[in-house]
C-alpha cells in the first residue's frame, strides 16, 4: 500500500456514497492501463519476495515479551541511515537511495505495514533467474533482519512468526494503551495497535461501519486434556458499554468452543511470505496466475505456522481465515443473513479469500472449472468489454469491482487522471485474494505481474528462502513443461479450508489434478486446426484427493501425479546449473520434501508441541506469559542458529 | 542404412519425470522419450488418412532418403521454430561419443549432430557444445585418475557387456570402457575448436573430467573449454582441488545426470525391437511381422547421441529440449 497519498478520508457512509464514482473511474484507469500495456512484450523474469516481521520487545527481568509499537521510530531510523541510502536501500515511503542506477548489490528496503508492531522488508531491487541470483536470496533475507535489528532498541528484535502469541491479551504492547478506542472499538486491542497513518484506522473503522458491527474472528480452540468443555472464551467482557458495537458479544458474536477476536488487527497483524513475479507478457502472466492458483492451498498447508491466538492454542494451523474474517466488510444482506434490500447481491466470500476467477485464454481452461457462484458487476464488465478488454479478463476485474472502496480521499474525487491508477488500485489492493494479477504501473518499465500470497512466514530465513525459491522454480517448470494444474475453482476454495486443519500436511487430502501434462498429439503444433479436438472426459476424472506428500513428492503408482519437486528437479536437469547453486537448491528442496512427508515438522506443529511440553503449561490450551516469553525467545534463537545447535531440530533435521 | 531417431521437443510432449533422486545418472529420459515419440507418430499416422509427402513407402511414420531412415518422420513430430529472436536463447548441445565407434569418425559425427540440431531449432549457431567421451567418468571419491592409461583406442567389443541392459531400466554401466589417451582426446577437441573458429559454436565444454585429466588436457587446448560437467551424487563431496583448479582456470563446474554410455547397443536393439518384446517395431523379431511394424532385419550399432536445450536466458524457461540418436543398421 502506498502511503504517500494524504488527504481527508471520507468516513462511512460518506465513502459509500462515492463508491460507484470511484469504481467507474477505477475502470477508466484500468482501461487506460490496458490500452497502454496489453502489448507489452518480452519482459525478463524479475521477482521479489516480501518478508514481514513482528517487532517484539523483551523484558527479561520480568520474563515478559510484548509487541513494540515503535514502527514509526524504527522506520525513521532506517530512512535516516546514510549508509543504507547510499547503498540503494531505505524506506521508499520516506526516503530511499538510488536503486535503479546501481549495478551489483543493492541494500534492502523497508516498508510500514498495517500493524504498528510490524515491519516489511524487500530486496532493494528485484531478483532475476540467473541461478547465482538465487544464491543471493537467503543472505539478503538475513541481511534485512540484521539491518532491521540495528535500527531497533537493545530489547527489541524482529521475529518472523505469523502472529504474536498473546496479541489481544492484557499488557501485550509496549507502550501500553487502553483498549476500546473509537476506530477499532475492540474490547481487546487499543486503536494504537494500527499504523497511525490515516489510511489504516480509516480502513478498520470503515470496514466495521460498512459491516454494521465489529468483525468476528472466531478460531476453534484446541481441545487439550484439561481444556474446559464446552469452552467459553474467558477473556470476553460481556459488560462493556463504551460503544454500540459492544453489544456484539451480547448478540451472539462469541461462539462456544471458539477463541473470539473482534478487530482487523487480529488478522491484518499477521505476517506472510509473498512472492511477486514479472511475466514476459500479459498472456504469460495470465497463465501463471491460473496455474499457481491450485498450488496455493498446498503451500498454505505446507507452510503452516499459526497455532496460537490471543493466548490460546487454536485447533487450526494457519492464519488465512482469521485474516479473511478480520477484513470481512460484508453486510448481513450480502452474507445472506438478511433479505436483499439495500445491497446489490449476496457475496459468498470475504474480500480476503481464495480467488474466484481463472483469467487465462488458455484453451485448456474448460468452462467447468469456473466458479459457478461468481458475482460480477455486469455494468462495469460491459464497460471493460466495450473498451476492448476480452471477456475473461473483464469478468475478473468486474468481479473484484463488486466491492466498495473502503478508504476514499475527498481530494482524489475532483479530477480523473488517466495517467494515475489510484482509483483502480483502491479496489485492486483491497481485494486480498490468494493470487493477485497486477498490471504494469504507469511511468516505468515494469511489466505484468502475478503475486502468490498464501504462504505463511517461516521462523528462519533459510526456510523463507527455501519456499520463495521453490515457488520461483515451480513457475519455471510450469512454463517450461507447459504444465496444467487446472481444477474447478470450488475445489481450490475447499482446499483452502482443508489447509486450516491441524496437521493437515500429515492427515488431510487435497483435490489436485492427476495429470499435469498437456495431451498433445503429433503434428498439432504445426497445424493446430487440422484434426478435430479429442473429446474431453468428465472434469471429475481429471482430479482426485491427494496428500500433501503426494502433491509435493509424487504418487508412487504408475501414471500417478509426478510431484512438484520431481517436476522442479527435472526442470533443473534441463538447464545449465553450477554445482554450488545446485547444492544450495538441494538443501531447499530437501527441506520441502521432508516437510511434506512429515519427516520434518511444520512451524505450527513445533510451536504447538513447544507449548504443550512447557513446564508451565497446564494442558488447558492456555498460552500464558511465561510460555509466550520462552517461545518467542526460542524462536529468536532459532532464527539465529537455524537448528544447528539442535534447537528446533524437528523442523530442520540434523544440520551441519 | 543409417537410422536417425528423434524425440522432438520433450518439454511439452513427452516429459519424463523420475521419482528417483535426480542426481543419479540415468538414460531413461532418452530411451523413454524416443519410445514415446515413435509410438505417438505411429498412432498419428494411423489416424490420419492422408500420408505426408516425405513419408516412406515402408511405413507412413518414417521418412526415407537414399541412405537414411528418419524415425519418426520429422513432419509428424517437429516442433515449431523458437519463439523469440535467437539472441534471447542459450542453446546448449551435448554430444555423446559412444564406445566402440572409432574416433576417426568423430569429425563427421560432430558435423552431422550439429546439422540435425541447427535444423531442428532453426538456428545457425549454438552457444555451448559439451562433449562426452566414452569411458571418462568423474568419481568424487577418487579424483586421482590413477587408472588413466595411455591406451590409444578403447577396445571395441566391450559393448557386448551391455547387452543385458534393456531399454527402460535405470542406471548406467559407465565404467567398463577404458578411457582414451589425452592425445586422442585432443585430436577430437581440435575438430571442435575449428567449429568455434567457423562461428558455429560459441564455447566448448567437457564432461566428467577430473582434476588431473584437466591439468593434462587444458594446457594443450587452443580454445580452452569454459565448462566441465560432472555428476556428483552428493553435492557436498566435490573435491576441493577440482573446485580450486576450475576457479583458477575460469572453468565453470556444472551438474548433469547423463550416463556416459547413454545408448548401449543392447538398449537400442530392445527399444527398436518387435512390439511383442515391448519395442517400437522398427526391427523384426523372430516371429511374424505384426501390423504397423517396420520389421527391418540386421544389426544396429549406435553411432552417437546428441542432446539439445534452448533456454530463454532472462526468463529461465526451457523452450525446447530433445535428443537425436544416430545408428547404423547393417542389414542382413
Question: What tens digit of pLDDT does each residue of B44-69 get?
Answer: 887 775 555 556 777 888 898 888 99
Confidence of residue B171 (pLDDT cuts 50, 70, 90): low
**In 3-state terms, chain B is what percent helix, strand and coil (to 5)?**
30, 25, 45
Closest by Cβ to A520, choosing from B13, B41, B317: B13
**Boundaries of every domain in chain B:** 2-331
Q: In this model, does residue B156 exceed pLDDT 50? A: no
Q: Give me the residue from B128, B232, B316 closest to A579, CB to CB.
A: B232
**Cβ separation B316–A586 shorter than 8 A:** no
Nearest CB neighbour to B19, from listed A522, A531, A566: A566
Percentage of chain B beyond pLDDT 90 is 58
Across residues B179-184, what is the average pLDDT?
A: 90
First to last CA, chain B: 11
Separation in Å, CA A418 to CA A19, A101, A426, A431: 18, 28, 14, 21
Using a 10 angstrom Cβ sphere, with 0-12 exposed, 13-18 middle and 19 or more buried, the burial of residue A261 is buried
Cβ within 8 Å, pair A579-B238: yes
Here the ipTM equals: 0.92
Residues of B in contact with A517 (CB under 8 A): 15
Question: What cell was used for B95?
Answer: 554430444
More confident residue, B124 or B146: B124
* Owner of C-alpha cell 585430436: B187
**What single-letter DSSP state applies at residue A620?**
S
How many A-B residue pairs are in contact by the CB < 8 A criterion? 114
Per-residue 3-state assignment (H helix, E strand, C coil) for A140-179: HHHHHHHHHHHCCCCCEEEECCCCCCCCCCCCCEECCCCC
Which of A45, A520, A578 faces B316 most closely, judged by CB atoms? A45
Strands (DSSP E) found in chain B: 2-6, 63-64, 68-71, 89-97, 126-132, 201-207, 227-230, 252-255, 298-312, 317-331
CA dist., res. A386 & res. A394, Å (int): 10
| Closest Cα in chain A to B40 | A522
CB-based contact B75 A42, cutoff 8 Å = no
Across the interface, which of B47, B253, B321 has its CB nearest the CB of A574? B321
pLDDT value for A520: 55
Contact yes or no for B12 and A42 at CB 8 A: no
Instruction: Show Cβ contacts of residue A197 under 8 Å, excluding neighbours closer than 6 positions.
Output: A3, A112
Beta-carbon separation of A523 and B254 below 8 A: no
CB contact under 8 A, B13 and A578: no
| Shortest Cα distance, chain B CAs vs residue A582, angstroms | 7
| Mean pLDDT within B257-274 | 92
Which position has the grid cell 485492486?
A428
The x, y and z cell numbers of residue B252, run together, are: 565453470
CB contact under 8 A, A570 and B16: yes
Question: For residue A543, what is the DSSP state?
Answer: E
Closest residue on chain A to B252 (Cα):
A578
* Residue segments in chain A with a per-residue pLDDT below the cut of 70: 1-5, 100-102, 519-534, 655-656
Dist. CA A617–CA A148, nearest whole Å = 33
Answer whether A410's CB lies under 8 Å from A422's CB: no
Chain-chain contact of A521 with B80 (C-beta, under 8 angstroms): no
- Residues A96, A90 contacting (CB under 8 angstroms): yes
Q: Do B254 and A476 touch (CB under 8 A)?
A: no
Of B13, B79, B314, the CB nearest to A45: B314
Q: What is the pLDDT of residue B201?
A: 98
Q: Which string of DSSP letters, residue by residue, matches A188-253? A: SS-GGGB--STHHHHHHHHHHHHHTS---EEEEBP--TT--SS---TT--TT--SSGGGGGGGGT-
Decide: B28 and B258 in contact? Cβ < 8 Å.
no
Given an 8 Å threshold on Cβ–Cβ distance, is B41 in contact with A522?
yes
Give the nearest partner residue to B22 out of A553, A570, A575, using CB atoms.
A570
Question: Could you give the 3-state DSSP secondary structure of residue A422?
Answer: helix
Considering only the beta carbons, identify the residue of B19, B79, B317 that sits closest to A480: B317
Helix axes A625-641, A603-612, angle to 10 degrees: 140
Mutate to test the interface with B, among A522, A526, A574 (most CBs of B within 10 A): A522
A482 CA to chain B: closest CA distance, Å? 6
Cβ contact B238–A44 (<8 Å): no
Provide, as residue numbers in chain A, all residues whose Cβ is less than 8 Å from the Cβ of B227.
576
A contacts of B44 (beta carbons < 8 Å):
521-523
How near does any CA of chain A get to the CA of B219, in Å?
23
DSSP string, A597-616: HTSS--HHHHHHHHHHTSTT
Considering only the beta carbons, identify the residue of A44, A526, A574 that sits closest to B80.
A526
Residues of A near B (Cβ–Cβ under 8 Å) read 42, 44-45, 128-129, 280, 476, 479-482, 517-518, 520-523, 525-526, 531, 553-554, 556, 562-563, 566-567, 569-579, 582-583, 586
Using alpha carbons, select from A392, A386, A387 the residue that is nearest to residue A371. A392
Residues of A in contact with B82 (CB under 8 A): none
Contacts of A567 in chain B (CB under 8 A): 17
Nearest CA in chain A to B322: A574
Are B90 and A522 in contact (CB < 8 Å)? Answer: no
Q: Give the CA dihedral A465, A471, A477, A479, nearest 10 degrees.
A: -130
User: A480 with A472: CB under 8 angstroms?
Assistant: no
Rounded distance between C-alpha atoms, residue B305 and residue B163, angstroms? 18
Q: What is the mean pLDDT of residues B104-132?
A: 96
How is B178-213 classified by DSSP, letter by letter?
Answer: PP--HHHHHHHHHHHHHHHHTTSEEEEEEES--HHH
The verdict on a CB contact (< 8 Å) between B78 and A521 is no
Higher pLDDT, B43 or A464: A464
| Closest-CA residue of chain B to A475 | B317
For chain B, give the mean pLDDT: 83
Q: Do A576 and B43 touch (CB under 8 A)?
A: no
C-alpha torsion angle, residues A442, A448, A454, A457 (rounded to 10): -70
Neighbours of A230 (CB within 10 A): 11
Cell of B130: 559439451
CA–CA min distance B178, chain A (Å): 26
- Please report, for residues A168, A174, A625, B232, the alpha-carbon distance to residue A190 in angstroms, rounded to integers and kept in the order given: 9, 12, 19, 58
Q: Cα distance from B114 to chain A (closest Cα, Å)? A: 19
Pick the residue of B316, B318, B320, B322 with the most A CBs within 10 A to test the interface with A by mutation.
B316
At CA A151, angle to CA A150 and CA A156, rounded to 5?
85
DSSP summary character for residue B265: H
Residue B12 to residue A44, Cβ atoms within 8 A: no
All domains of chain A in start order, with CATH: 1-520+539-656 (3.30.590.50)
Size of chain A, expressed as the number of residues it contains: 656
- Phi/psi for A379 (5° steps) reads -65, -45
Question: Taking 90 as the threshold, does the pLDDT of residue B169 lie above it?
Answer: no
Amino acid at each position: 500500500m502506498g502511503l504517500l497519498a494524504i488527504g481527508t478520508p471520507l468516513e462511512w457512509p460518506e465513502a459509500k456514497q462515492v463508491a460507484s464514482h470511484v469504481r467507474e473511474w477505477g475502470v477508466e484507469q484500468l482501461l487506460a492501463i490496458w490500452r497502454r500495456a496489453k502489448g507489452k512484450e518480452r519482459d525478463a523474469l524479475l521477482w521479489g519476495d516480501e518478508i514481514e516481521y513482528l517487532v517484539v520487545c523483551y523484558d527479561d527481568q520480568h520474563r515478559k515479551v510484548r509487541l513494540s509499537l515503535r514502527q514509526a521510530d524504527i522506520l525513521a531510523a532506517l530512512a535516516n541511515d546514510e549508509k543504507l541510502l547510499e547503498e540503494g536501500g531505505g524506506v521508499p515511503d520516506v526516503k530511499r537511495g538510488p536503486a535503479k542506477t546501481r549495478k551489483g548489490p543493492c541494500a534492502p528496503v523497508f516498508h510500514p505495514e498495517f500493524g504498528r508492531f510490524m515491519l516489511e522488508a524487500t530486496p532493494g531491487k528485484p531478483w532475476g533467474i540467473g541461478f547465482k541470483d538465487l544464491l543471493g536470496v537467503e543472505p539478503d533475507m538475513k541481511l534485512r533482519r540484521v539491518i532491521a535489528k540495528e535500527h531497533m532498541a537493545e530489547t527489541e528484535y524482529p521475529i518472523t512468526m505469523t502472529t504474536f502469541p498473546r496479541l489481544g491479551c492484557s499488557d501485550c504492547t509496549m507502550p501500553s494503551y487502553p483498549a476500546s478506542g473509537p476506530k477499532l472499538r475492540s474490547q481487546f486491542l487499543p486503536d494504537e495497535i494500527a499504523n497511525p497513518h490515516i489510511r489504516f484506522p480509516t480502513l478498520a473503522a470503515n470496514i466495521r461501519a460498512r459491516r454494521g458491527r465489529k468483525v468476528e474472528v472466531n478460531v476453534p480452540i484446541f481441545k487439550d486434556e484439561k481444556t474446559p468443555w464446552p469452552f467459553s472464551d474467558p477473556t470476553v467482557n460481556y459488560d462493556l458499554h463504551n460503544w454500540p458495537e459492544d453489544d456484539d458479544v451480547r448478540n451472539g458474536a462469541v461462539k462456544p468452543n471458539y477463541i473470539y477476536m473482534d478487530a482487523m488487527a487480529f488478522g491484518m497483524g499477521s505476517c506472510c511470505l509473498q512472492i511477486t513475479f514479472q511475466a514476459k507478457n500479459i498472456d504469460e502472466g495470465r497463465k501463471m496466475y491460473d496455474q499457481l492458483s491450485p498450488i496455493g492451498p498446498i503451500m498454505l498447508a505446507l507452510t503452516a505456522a499459526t497455532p496460537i491466538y490471543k493466548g490460546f492454542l487454536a485447533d487450526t494451523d494457519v492464519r488465512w481465515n482469521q485474516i479473511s474474517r478480520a477484513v470481512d466488510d460484508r453486510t448481513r444482506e450480502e452474507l445472506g443473513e438478511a433479505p436483499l434490500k439495500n445491497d446489490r447481491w449476496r457475496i459468498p466470500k470475504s474480500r480476503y479469500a481464495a480467488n474466484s476467477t481463472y483469467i487465462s485464454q488458455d484453451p485448456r481452461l474448460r468452462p467447468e472449472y469456473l466458479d459457478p457462484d461468481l458475482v460480477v458487476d455486469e455494468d462495469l464488465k460491459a464497460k471493460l468489454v466495450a473498451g476492448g478488454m476480452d471477456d475473461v479478463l473483464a469478468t475478473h476485474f468486474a468481479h473484484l469491482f463488486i466491492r466498495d472502496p473502503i478508504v476514499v480521499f475527498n481530494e482524489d474525487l475532483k479530477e480523473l487522471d488517466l495517467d494515475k491508477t489510484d482509483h483502480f488500485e483502491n479496489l485492486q489492493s483491497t481485494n486480498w485474494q490468494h493470487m493477485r494479477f497486477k498490471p504494469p504501473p504507469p511511468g516505468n518499465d515494469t511489466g505484468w505481474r502475478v503475486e502468490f500470497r498464501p504462504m505463511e512466514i517461516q521462523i528462519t530465513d533459510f526456510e523463507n528462502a527455501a519456499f520463495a525459491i521453490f515457488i520461483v522454480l515451480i513457475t519455471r517448470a510450469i512454463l517450461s513443461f507447459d504444465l496444467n494444474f487446472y481444477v474447478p475453482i470450488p475445489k481450490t476454495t475447499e482446499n483452502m479450508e482443508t489447509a486450516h486443519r491441524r496437521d493437515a500436511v500429515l492427515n488431510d487430502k487435497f483435490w489436485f489434478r492427476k495429470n499435469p501434462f498437456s495431451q498433445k498429439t503429433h503434428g498439432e503444433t504445426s497445424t493446430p486446426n487440422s484434426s478435430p479436438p479429442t473429446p474431453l472426459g468428465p472434469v471429475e476424472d481429471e482430479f482426485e484427493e491427494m496428500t500433501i506428500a503426494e502433491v509435493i513428492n509424487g504418487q508412487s503408482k504408475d501414471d500417478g501425479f509426478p510431484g512438484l519437486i520431481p517436476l522442479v528437479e527435472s526442470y533443473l536437469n534441463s538447464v545449465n546449473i553450477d554445482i554450488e547453486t545446485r547444492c544450495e537448491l538441494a538443501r531447499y528442496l530437501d527441506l520441502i520434501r521432508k516437510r511434506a512427508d512429515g519427516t520434518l515438522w511444520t512451524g505450527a506443529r513445533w510451536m504447538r508441541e513447544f507449548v504443550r511440553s512447557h513446564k508451565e503449561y497446564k494442558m488447558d490450551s492456555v498460552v500464558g506469559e511465561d510460555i509466550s516469553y520462552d517461545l518467542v525467545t526460542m524462536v529468536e534463537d532459532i532464527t539465529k542458529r537455524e537448528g544447528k545447535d539442535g534447537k528446533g531440530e524437528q523442523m530442520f533435521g540434523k544440520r551441519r | 542404412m543409417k537410422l536417425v531417431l528423434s524425440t522432438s521437443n520433450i518439454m511439452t510432449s513427452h516429459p519424463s519425470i523420475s521419482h528417483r533422486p535426480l542426481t543419479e545418472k540415468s538414460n531413461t529420459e532418452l530411451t523413454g522419450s524416443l519410445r514415446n515419440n515413435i509410438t505417438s507418430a505411429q498412432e498419428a499416422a494411423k489416424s490420419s488418412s492422408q500420408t505426408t509427402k516425405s513419408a516412406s513407402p515402408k511405413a507412413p511414420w518414417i521418412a526415407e532418403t537414399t541412405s537414411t531412415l528418419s524415425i519418426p518422420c520429422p513432419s509428424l513430430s517437429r516442433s515449431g521454430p523458437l519463439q523469440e529472436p535467437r539472441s534471447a536463447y542459450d542453446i546448449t548441445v551435448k554430444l555423446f561419443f559412444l564406445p566402440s565407434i572409432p574416433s576417426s569418425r568423430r569429425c563427421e559425427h560432430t558435423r552431422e549432430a550439429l546439422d540435425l540440431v541447427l535444423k531442428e531449432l532453426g538456428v545457425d549457431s549454438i552457444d555451448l557444445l559439451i562433449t562426452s567421451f566414452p569411458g571418462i567418468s568423474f568419481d568424487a571419491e577418487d579424483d586421482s585418475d590413477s587408472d588413466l592409461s595411455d591406451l590409444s583406442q578403447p577396445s571395441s567389443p566391450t559393448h557386448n557387456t551391455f547387452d543385458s541392459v534393456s531399454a527402460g531400466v535405470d542406471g548406467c554401466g559407465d565404467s567398463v570402457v577404458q578411457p582414451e589417451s589425452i592425445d586422442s582426446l585432443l585430436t577430437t577437441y581440435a575438430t571442435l575448436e575449428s567449429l568455434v573458429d567457423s562461428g558455429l559454436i560459441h564455447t566448448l565444454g567437457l564432461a566428467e573430467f577430473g582434476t588431473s585429466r584437466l591439468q593434462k588436457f587444458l594446457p594443450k587446448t587452443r580454445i580452452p573449454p569454459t565448462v566441465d560437467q560432472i555428476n556428483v551424487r552428493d553435492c557436498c563431496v566435490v573435491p576441493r582441488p577440482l573446485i580450486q583448479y576450475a576457479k583458477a582456470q575460469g572453468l565453470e563446474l556444472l551438474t548433469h545426470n547423463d550416463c556416459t554410455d547413454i545408448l548401449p547397443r543392447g538398449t537400442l536393439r530392445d527399444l527398436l525391437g518387435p512390439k511383442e518384446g515391448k519395442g517400437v517395431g522398427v526391427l523384426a523379431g523372430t516371429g511374424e511381422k505384426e501390423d504397423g511394424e517396420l520389421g527391418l532385419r540386421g544389426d544396429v550399432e549406435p553411432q552417437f547421441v546428441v542432446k539439445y536445450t534452448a533456454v530463454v536466458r532472462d526468463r529461465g524457461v526451457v523452450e525446447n529440449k530433445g535428443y537425436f540418436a544416430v545408428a547404423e543398421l547393417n542389414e542382413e
